[in-house]
Amino acid sequence: MVLQTSQNGCRKILQKEPLSSLPHEFENEIMKDKAKKLLANYSEYRKVPGDGSCFYRSFIYSYLEQLVKVSHEEELRLLGALEPMWEKFQRLHLPGSYSDLHDAFVGFILECMEQKQKLSVRGYQEWLFQESQNEQKFANILLYLRLVTAIEICTEVETFKSYITELGQGMPDAIGYCLEEVLPVEEDAQQVNLTALTNVLQVPLRVVNIDVSPIEEPNIHIIYESPDSSVPTVTLLYRPGHYDIIYEKS
């Protein structure tokens, strides 16, 4: 996968930065003011590459980062949520090897389980950061998340019709949409991607928006809420065309 330099100049996931640095990234005064207001509830953020996979990369990194603070039951829950995907994939005509990508994803989740058992919280997070710098390894994980997203959209067409006007003809149109808009690594994630992926994984997702809309406060969009409070909540920072990770004050 070829990485593009993002609007903030990084080519790989970076170390955390104090959120006080964020307002300086904006020239627009409305966006700058909204960034400053985030300081009341958030303390740090982490930049990710500005390629088409910034959502998937931010989402999975934030989730994996929090696994060290929960029991092994969470990893087992996640893998269980993915079990129906293979049968659904077989009914579709989507490209790629589901088994290979699934095995890569499961293998990394099991590796995370092993590392968090023997490392401290800080040690685990440092290990995860180093793993994230291995682009080839993370590439398969990101491709798997795209494939899971596409499978969900194609098999739950009625659920996603309201998001995508092209789905008027049902599954054939959904497959065509996913081939063009979901699976290619250069394509940015739309809201339907966020909703489909979190529906499958059942991982809570909140998106903090910084934009030029006239509302004074940053808008927080809740994409998915879990009835299980033990499941880590992913919180992402969105500015037009790009996702980063943002951290609440402890």
| 209-241 pLDDT tens trace | 999 998 888 999 999 999 899 999 999 999 999
List of domains in the chain = 17-248 (1.20.1300.20)
Helix (H) or strand (E) run with residue 37 in it: helix 29-37
Local confidence band at 6 (pLDDT 50, 70, 90 cut-offs): very low
User: What six digits make up the tokens of 28?
Assistant: 């627009």
Which of 44-53, 97-106, 160-169 is predicted least confidently? 160-169
User: How confident is the model over 149-168, as pLDDT tens digits?
Assistant: 999 999 999 899 888 877 76
Give 82 or 166, the one with higher predicted confidence. Answer: 82
| DSSP three-state, residue 17 | strand
Q: How far is CA 155 from CA 38, 56, 177, in A?
A: 38, 20, 13
Lowest mean pLDDT among 62-71, 166-175, 179-188, 192-201: 166-175
Order of all β-strands in the sheet with 42-46: 17-18, 42-46, 242-248, 234-239, 205-209, 219-224
Measure the CA–CA gap between 97 and 100, rounded to whole angstroms: 6
Exposure class string for 18-50: b at 16+ Cβ within 10 A, else e? ebeebbebbeeeebeebbeebeeebebbbbbbb
User: Mind listing the pLDDT tens digit for each residue in 123-134?
Assistant: 999 999 999 999
Task: Please state the pTM of the whole predicted model.
Answer: 0.93
User: Residue 81: is its pLDDT beyond 50?
Assistant: yes
Per the DSSP assignment, residues forming a β-bridge with 41 are none
